[in-house]
Structure 1
Amino acid sequence: MDSPQRPPLAHVFRGTFVHSRPSEPMEILHGHLLGVDDSGTIVFLEQADQQDQLAKKWGFKLSDIRELSNHEFFMPGMVDTHIHAPQYSFAGTRVDLPLLQWLTTYTFPTEAKYTDSDFAEEVYTRVVVCTANVIYLFDNIPEILSFIFIFSPDKFGQRAFVGKVCMDMNDTVPQYKESTADSVKETERVQPVITPRFGPSCTEDLLSALGNIAQARDLHVQSHISENEEEIKLVENMFPAYQNYTDLYDKNKLLTSKTVMAHACYLSEEELKLFSLRGAAISHCPSSNFS
């Protein structure tokens, strides 16, 4: 009987590999071979003394092996679970104000500049080149800019979960908000991450509509929660019918096993239990939380 046809290899590397396992926080593998097939899947990672057997099994020649130098090594790509592409232009600066004042003074005016497609493409390309291999991305997308960013990851072999930021309440910068209908319509065009900006920027109608989209299409969800105490009080005043901030998302079908919520600095024990029950995740963002 003929052996099953194996997919052709696109790459074979020899060198040092570093990764983590549950039983070992850092494992260093010296003198190993790694093979990658045409689909980008790693099909083997074995000791280099298995080279002849692997070459016979996978049909590669010794001349196909790319050797790393002594100072080079492979490691798994980083996954950034929370990044705002439009804010990358001032990353590491403008940290002198609390959240709500920071949004109105710096963030909203900067994000409004992204109607300039040249400016947007330049910043978004830097995001893709300089950040992680896989990103959960918050973006503000007036039509054409969505495509500029969505296709940028493909140029560099990066994977991205791109979410259109939804915000139908923003009286501080009136020109930088959208109607509930437009927000829902634009969200339906961009997949796969449903992205309400945060509780205070969305009406209950918008949150409900976004939750329905997420449920109907089994999509990922990302947003912010409990970043500072002023924000929590604002949510309590705006949505008194809900038990707490987490309940607001949960009742609107936005807290699921595919949800990533940023910050979560002040969640109660009750809220943490609900996160656990739903299987939702938290992106802690330590540098932002401490600033």
Structure 2
Amino acid sequence: MDAVQQVFKGTFIHSTARCACEVKENHILGTGKDGKILFFEDAHTQSRLAQKWGFDESNIQALGKNEFFMPGMIDTHIHAPQYTFIGTGMERPLLEWLAHTTFPIEDTFSDIENARNKYSAVVRRTLRNGTTTACYFATIHTDASIVLADTANQYGQRAFIGKICMDHNDTYQKYKETTEESIRETKRFVEVLKKKKYDRVKPIITPRFAISCSERLLNELGKLADENDLHIQTVMAHGCYLTNEELDIFRERGAAVSHCPNSNISLCSGHLDVRNVLNHRVKVGLGTDVAGGYSISLLDAIRKSIETSKILFMERSKNDWDTNDIESFQKGNMTPNGINRGAENIPITPEKNPNVLSYKDAFRLATLGGSEALSIDHMTGNFEVGKEFDALLINPDAKDSHFEVFSHIPKEKQSKSKIIDQTIKNFLFIGREQHKIELKDIYYQVY
């Protein structure tokens, strides 16, 4: 039987197949030497667990009053080199932004020392923002892409690393490969990473996007992915204009969507109807799409995914109105959402509309949803026994915390569960890096 390495006791929140945001108060969790979860049960079973696994009270790390564990967040779409110019050039349309800002700066990553310094910064910053798993686009440079893989492994971040492939680039001719070079260098990249045998860092096949790759290159990359059982990156991103028929194909083939709401808004790409995607039983995770998106934080992605769903709700409510609806509303017979008033006279709000994402839904997208999208939900995404303890310790009472924990619930109705629920909402909506600034509070490999 595996020996217990760590034991934690307190509040845990995670997503399961049946619950988008499950709160487990007064629970006890133990991990083995390999970092995998050995047990996760109500604390009233502590004596039995201690006898079975051979630990005592002194071995238990108890969480503070308002602290809680949550799974590490998963960024399913991020461009590592673009962190260096995040927030710049946002006034330009996409192709112009690529030509004037993105491609020229990415081209400088042919310098290995430049790549090493900047990739160290992006990996540390994503970790400090709670991203314990990232699906990275690198650049066309093989050696620099290997540096990114080495850096992620050094800091203990789980990562999929993609050497970008592009044999067409009419907007910035200097930054591209020949077809043969792209195929050859991608094979070399995959072979080098496979030989390194990193536990948490893997190569991923990464065509930049459709117009930057020839048909021959795409075909060869597809063969390479099949031969090495590798993920393919680009097909997952955005998906704002997928039809219902296309979503059915996604489901049938096991494809997933990376929802990048900040980027979608910043680049005027459109709004993804996440609820419709989920209704088609297609896997969905969240992405920052740095630097198309101007925030490296998945907390921002959580918030903007909720805002996007509310914008879609409002747009549809407005479009559904006709002249009779307006007249009925003006007479007081209809709610602003186009619903005839009944006996209860209660308007339908976004929070009560099943098509609008709740904070619980968005929390799931950032954790378990991301692990499902990347097909690693057997390893991470929640606190099920057998998975790696990939977790963030959130402390709302941390020094320089961005919010205070107050309770507006009457004392006679107060309960710890209600206070915890309020604290979780506060963290997801206004929390930021200060709540997990120390890498030691990310539990898996970073110490």
Q: Contact (CA 8 Å) 2:142, 2:186: kept in 1 or not?
A: no
Q: Aligned residue for 2:123?
A: 128
Deviation at 1:122, TM superposition (A): 2.7
SS in 1 for 2:91: coil
- The farther-off stretch of 156-165 and 260-269 is 260-269
In structure 2, which of residues 184, 198, 210 is the aligned counterpart of residue 199 of structure 1?
A: 210
In 1, distance between residues paired with 2:229 and 2:164? Answer: 18
TM-score by length of 2: 0.53
Kindly tell me: are residues 278 and 128 of structure 1, through their superposed partners in 2, closer, same or farther at Cα, counting changes over 3 Å? same
Q: Which has the higher strand share?
A: 1
TM-score by length of 1: 0.80
1:285 is the counterpart of 2:260: yes
In 2, distance between residues paired with 1:55 and 1:206? Answer: 57
In 2, distance between residues paired with 1:57 and 1:288? Answer: 50
Root-mean-square deviation (CA), in Å? 1.8
Structure-to-structure mapping, 1:22-171, within 5 angstroms:
22-131=17-126, 132-171=131-170
Q: Contact (CA 8 Å) 1:162, 1:190: kept in 2 or not?
A: no
Gaps of 5+ in 1: 1-5, 224-259
Seq. identity, %: 50
Kindly tell me: are residues 141 and 60 of structure 1, through their superposed partners in 2, closer, same or farther at Cα, counting changes over 3 Å? farther
Q: Aligned residue for 1:217?
A: 228
- Deviations along 1:97-134, whole A, 9 cap, x unmatched? 22211111111011112123333223222322232111
- Deviations along 1:10-31, whole A, 9 cap, x unmatched? 2111121111234332222222
- Quick one: higher RCO (CA 8 Å, sep 6+), 1 or 2? 2
Aligned partner letter, 1:60: F
In 1, distance between residues paired with 2:44 and 2:154? Answer: 36
Kindly tell me: are residues 284 and 13 of structure 1, through their superposed partners in 2, closer, same or farther at Cα, counting changes over 3 Å? same
Aligned partner letter, 1:88: Y
- The farther-off stretch of 142-151 and 83-92 is 142-151
Aligned partner letter, 1:119: N
SS in 1 for 2:172: coil
- Deviations along 1:67-103, whole A, 9 cap, x unmatched? 2222321101111110000111122332212221111
Structure-to-structure mapping, 1:208-287, within 5 angstroms:
208-223=219-234, 260-287=235-262
In 1, distance between residues paired with 2:5 and 2:149? Answer: 25
Aligned partner letter, 1:145: A
1:187 is the counterpart of 2:181: no
Q: Aligned residue for 1:10?
A: 5
SS in 2 for 1:215: helix
Q: Contact (CA 8 Å) 2:167, 2:212: kept in 1 or not?
A: yes
Kindly tell me: are residues 273 and 29 of structure 1, through their superposed partners in 2, closer, same or farther at Cα, counting changes over 3 Å? closer
Q: Contact (CA 8 Å) 2:89, 2:101: kept in 1 or not?
A: yes
Deviation at 1:141, TM superposition (A): 4.7
Aligned partner letter, 1:195: T
Kindly tell me: are residues 23 and 277 of structure 1, through their superposed partners in 2, closer, same or farther at Cα, counting changes over 3 Å? closer
In 2, distance between residues paired with 1:271 and 1:25? Answer: 25
- The farther-off stretch of 41-50 and 205-214 is 41-50
Kindly tell me: are residues 67 and 282 of structure 1, through their superposed partners in 2, closer, same or farther at Cα, counting changes over 3 Å? same
1:178 is the counterpart of 2:173: no
In 1, distance between residues paired with 2:87 and 2:17? Answer: 32
SS in 2 for 1:154: helix
Q: Contact (CA 8 Å) 1:140, 1:165: kept in 2 or not?
A: yes
Kindly tell me: are residues 36 and 63 of structure 1, through their superposed partners in 2, closer, same or farther at Cα, counting changes over 3 Å? same
Q: Aligned residue for 1:3?
A: none
Aligned partner letter, 2:249: L
In 1, distance between residues paired with 2:4 and 2:121? Answer: 31
In 1, distance between residues paired with 2:60 and 2:109? Answer: 44
SS in 2 for 1:220: coil
- How many residues are aligned here? 250
In 2, distance between residues paired with 1:182 and 1:8? Answer: 49
- Deviations along 1:184-226, whole A, 9 cap, x unmatched? 1121133431110001001111011001111222211011xxx
Gaps of 5+ in 2: 191-202, 267-447
Deviation at 1:58, TM superposition (A): 1.1
In 1, distance between residues paired with 2:77 and 2:142? Answer: 22
